[in-house]
C-alpha cells in the first residue's frame, strides 16, 4: 500500500503563487504516476495535472501555462507550482498516485487534501 500526505495549501490573493507538495510512503517502487486533483464547493473532483515516473506531464486546459507539476523520485515527492492564481482555483487539492505490479491491476491512492483559497 501507499500513503500520501499533502502540504502547502493556504490563503493567497489573486495573482499570487503557492507550491503544493505530496510525499508518498509505503510501496513507493510500484508508483507509475502521481497527480493532483481538486474539488471546489458544489463541483465534481477534476484532474489538474499528472506526471509519470518517466517525467511525462498532462494538464487541465484551465491551468495550462499557470501550473507546473514536477516529481522527485528519490524523495517520493510530487510538487504543484501554482502561479497567477485565480478565485476559480479555490478548492481542496488532492494528491493521487497510480501503482502497478506485474500480475495485478493498477490501484489508485489518495491523500487527505489541502485547502487552497484565492481571495482578496
Reported as a single tens digit per residue, the pLDDT across 54-92 is 899 999 999 999 999 999 988 999 999 999 999 999 999
Average the pLDDT over 88-106 and give the result: 94
Which pLDDT does position 74 carry in this prediction?
Answer: 87
pLDDT greater than 90 at residue 20: yes
Cα of 17 vs its chain's centroid, Å? 15
Position 53 pLDDT exceeds 90: no
Amino acid at each position: 500500500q501507499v500513503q500520501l500526505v499533502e502540504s502547502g495549501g493556504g490563503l493567497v490573493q489573486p495573482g499570487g503563487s503557492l507550491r503544493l507538495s505530496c510525499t508518498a510512503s509505503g510501496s513507493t517502487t510500484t508508483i507509475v504516476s502521481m497527480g493532483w486533483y481538486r474539488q471546489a464547493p458544489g463541483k465534481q473532483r477534476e484532474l489538474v495535472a499528472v506526471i509519470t515516473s518517466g517525467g511525462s506531464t498532462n494538464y487541465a486546459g484551465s491551468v495550462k501555462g499557470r501550473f507546473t507539476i514536477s516529481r522527485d523520485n528519490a524523495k517520493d515527492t510530487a510538487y504543484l507550482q501554482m502561479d497567477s492564481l485565480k478565485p476559480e482555483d479555490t478548492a481542496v487539492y488532492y494528491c493521487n498516485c497510480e501503482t502497478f505490479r506485474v500480475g495485478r491491476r493498477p490501484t489508485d491512492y489518495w491523500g487527505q487534501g489541502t485547502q487552497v483559497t484565492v481571495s482578496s
